[in-house]
Structure 1
Amino acid sequence: MPAHDEHNGLILLIDDRRDIAAMVGDYLEQRGYSIDYAADGITGLHLAVTNSYDVIVLDLSLPGMDGLDVCRKLRQEAHKSTPILMLTGRDGLEDRVSGLEAGADDYLVKPFEVREMEARVRALIRRDRRAVTDEILKVADLELDTGTMRLTRAGQELTVSPIGLKLLAILMRESPRVVSRRDIEREIWGDRLPDSDTLRSHLYGLRKIIDKPFERPLLHTIHSSGYRLADLKAESPNQAQTVIAS
């Protein structure tokens, strides 16, 4: 087995297809990762809650408990922030958004190249290990504590996936300026850029959470330019505030 480097880590693979699990597990182990495996959602959830993993690779269709339920329980009940790469045989936008809204960080559509999976796993680990300065970010009535990753709007606590929170942090720090699609993608995924629908899916999911239940939209798409987070009806030069947590 190759020597461990900074990208290697402990992976939990949850997939009822043992042939796929064996192929993926063998490849990742040859690349220096350690693998735990579960063939059903209930066992996978138990392992994910009771152990610390660098990434969870989670199939959408599982016996016992499907991947969406596993993901939701990890995020909302166990409050686990472990990066999740969801595997799905469904390629529709709504299906991808459902996975992201449940708390997945990234998704991979079957059939896939195992090398691409490893690249996505490596990117999730690298991103998750970055040090983040604790800040309180505020735009209008939206507030994000980057230390606790607690998000509220108008005092109401909101549940957003880890990548969704990172997207918000980028846009809130730059508010009210427009941030280009390329800059956002590189900040989150580095040089291993995702397919063209990934960012759009995350932003679509974010709008449903931070804007749809409220009177004024804050997340705006600027055609041919990028995205901005701002209250356009009450915009001022000091729209965004950043407070370094003590």
Structure 2
Amino acid sequence: MRILVVEDNAALAANLVDYLESRGHQAEAVGNGRRGLNLAIAEPYEVIVLDLALPGMDGVEVCRRLREAGVATPVIMLTARGELEEKLAGIDSGADDYLVKPVALAELEARARAQVRRVRGELASTQLTVGDLVLDEEAFEVRRGDTPVPLAPADFRLLRTLMRAAPRVVPRQELDRALWGEDVPGSDTLRAHIHRLRCAIDRPFGRDTLRTRHGIGYYLVADGNGSP
């Protein structure tokens, strides 16, 4: 498994990484919530171990923004506090599991494996479809009808976010977060990605699926002439 540990206690983070790597997994740690959010959006982790109390942005906010950005990676929330309210806050933000510190390392690994098995079982039969446009989240493949559509990783994330929301108009700010987290570049960068995505999924097929709602954002339509 490829695992991201977002934990500001350096000793605990190092202990988690060392144990997970000794079990044959790839693990890396960051100690800041904003940095963890950006990495989790940009990289294909299989599990995120997320502390609740973090500098920069707390774990509840990190998890909420991950889900808003269309990141479905399982999140196991860690906290030193065992109150019911804290547990519910984590789950309400989109966390998949919850452990109270001190954490038993073997239990954490077992829960991570269980989350990966669960997600793989769901994704094996799950595809996103808008009209004849199909995105396979597990295989990282896109096709229009029977024609494969190769996409760069950032364009794949952009399309996945739009397809998950379809036919809703997705505001520019939401798409920015899906692509870059909190480190949003200049305003023309999203426009460039949208143009490149249109060239890939629409232009060769003569039917416009990706539409603009001026001043708001972008959306997908199934029949080439509809509106949300």
TM-score (norm. length: structure 2): 0.54
Distance change in 2, residues 1:127/1:134 (3 Å): closer
Spell out structure 1 runs of 4+ moving beyond 2 A: 131-135, 147-151
For structure 1, list consecutive stretches of 5 or more residues without a partner in the other structure: 1-8, 136-146, 152-246
Whole-Å separation in 1 of the counterparts to 2:62 and 2:106:
25
* Structure 1 residue aligned with 2:145: none
Matched, 1:22 2:22: no
* Structure 1 residue aligned with 2:118: 127
Selected match of 1:90 from 81, 87, 90: 81
Whole-Å separation in 2 of the counterparts to 1:134 and 1:26:
34
- The secondary structure found in structure 1 opposite 2:19 is helix
* Structure 1 residue aligned with 2:199: none
RMSD (Å), alpha carbons: 2.3
Whole-Å separation in 2 of the counterparts to 1:73 and 1:99:
12
Q: How many residues align?
A: 132
* Structure 2 residue aligned with 1:3: none
Identify the structure with the greater helix proportion.
2
TM-score (norm. length: structure 1): 0.50
Q: For residue 66 of structure 1, report the CA deviation from its aligned partner.
A: 0.6
Q: For residue 106 of structure 1, report the CA deviation from its aligned partner.
A: 0.1
Whole-Å separation in 2 of the counterparts to 1:33 and 1:21:
15
- The secondary structure found in structure 2 opposite 1:127 is helix
Whole-Å separation in 1 of the counterparts to 2:164 and 2:99:
27
* Structure 1 residue aligned with 2:94: 103
Whole-Å separation in 2 of the counterparts to 1:91 and 1:98:
12
Whole-Å separation in 1 of the counterparts to 2:126 and 2:22:
37
- The secondary structure found in structure 1 opposite 2:50 is strand
Whole-Å separation in 2 of the counterparts to 1:58 and 1:79:
17
- The secondary structure found in structure 1 opposite 2:28 is strand
Whole-Å separation in 2 of the counterparts to 1:107 and 1:34:
21
Q: For residue 133 of structure 1, report the CA deviation from its aligned partner.
A: 3.8
Distance change in 2, residues 1:94/1:130 (3 Å): same
Whole-Å separation in 1 of the counterparts to 2:91 and 2:7:
18
Whole-Å separation in 2 of the counterparts to 1:53 and 1:32:
15
For structure 2, list consecutive stretches of 5 or more residues without a partner in the other structure: 128-136, 138-159, 166-228
* Structure 1 residue aligned with 2:131: none
